[in-house]
A and B are shown apart, each in its own frame.
Chain A
Amino acid sequence: QSVLTQPPSVSAAPGQKVTISCSGSSSNIGRRYVSWYQQVPGTVPKLLIYENNKRPSGIPDRFSGSKSGTSATLGITGLQTADEADYYCATWDGSLSAGVFGGGTKLTVL
């Protein structure tokens, strides 16, 4: 069982918007920055969002992040079939002194 909780799957049609939630606690999300990663099957994870809402260079602004209290959310607009992937949230847990990932959310673009 992961320290950070994500829905196992989400789906939406091409062109639509989807959000993926990540729920934690005061020892992790509540006091830390959240990052989001995209992993297309068979490939290496890629950083999508860092420090809750910042995008690395090369990541389109269709991807956005937000944080409120002990939860974070990844938003993807203008869905494309290429967005089909697994998405993970991550942060540091100060009580565990450990990195923590969410269990991952599989996005299906119908």
Chain B
Amino acid sequence: QVQLVESGGGVVQPGGSLRLSCGASGFNFNTFAMHWVRQAPGTGLEWVAVESSDGTYKHYADSVKARFTISRENSKNTLYLQMDSLRVEDTAIYYCVREGGADCRFDHWGQGTLVTVSS
């Protein structure tokens, strides 16, 4: 069965960096675009970034552009999110999500990893 397992969350000071990882199993990772979606405490879902299956395209939400970098290692079935210049407002649960079809059809979600940005 499809499994997505995030890791790397934690507490970091404003201006700091973190790298999230997402290990995938149960499907052909190298044939699916993958996304990060986040949810700040008590709020709704916010799309963060996407990378295509072969890495030919990447897109970011304006709120994270130039600070976050999405990447993947298909040989290791792993998705990453490098987060730099973190802000208090980046505090959220970060979900690794598989795109099962066009236009944000997110058919599988990880359990999420909590990132807390606080001094």
| Residues of A bordering B, CB below 8 Å | 2, 32-35, 37, 39, 44-47, 50-51, 56, 86, 88, 90-92, 96-104
Contacts of A97 in B (CB 8 A): 59
Q: Is the CB of A99 within 8 A of B101?
A: no
Contacts of B103 in A (CB 8 A): 32-35, 51, 91-92
Across the A-B interface, how many residue pairs have beta carbons closer than 8 Å? 75
Q: How large is the interface on B (under 10, 10 to 19, 20 to 34, 35 or more residues)?
A: 20 to 34
- B106 CB → nearest A CB, Å: 6
Partner among A46, A92, A96, A103 whose Cβ is within 8 Å of the Cβ of B104: A92
Q: Is the CB of A92 within 8 A of B102?
A: yes
Judge whether B70 is part of the interface by a CB distance below 8 angstroms: no
Take A44-B95, A99-B50, A104-B44 as given contacts and tell me if A33 and B102 are in contact as well, using a CB distance cutoff of 8 Å.
yes
- B67 CB → nearest A CB, Å: 15
Q: Is the CB of A90 within 8 A of B44?
A: no
- How would you classify the secondary structure of chain B's contact residues: helix, strand, loop or mixed? strand
Q: Is the CB of A90 within 8 A of B104?
A: yes
- B55 CB → nearest A CB, Å: 16
Q: Is the CB of B104 within 8 A of A35?
A: yes
- A91–B95 Cα distance when bound, in Å, is 17
Take A44-B111, A47-B105, A50-B105 as given contacts and tell me if A100 and B47 are in contact as well, using a CB distance cutoff of 8 Å.
yes
Take A98-B61, A98-B62, A99-B35 as given contacts and tell me if A91 and B104 are in contact as well, using a CB distance cutoff of 8 Å.
yes
Contacts of B101 in A (CB 8 A): 33, 50-51
- A37–B37 Cα distance when bound, in Å, is 13
Q: Could you list 14 examples of A-B contacts with CB < 8 Å?
A: A2-B44, A35-B103, A35-B104, A44-B112, A45-B37, A45-B45, A45-B109, A47-B106, A51-B103, A90-B45, A98-B61, A98-B62, A104-B44, A104-B45
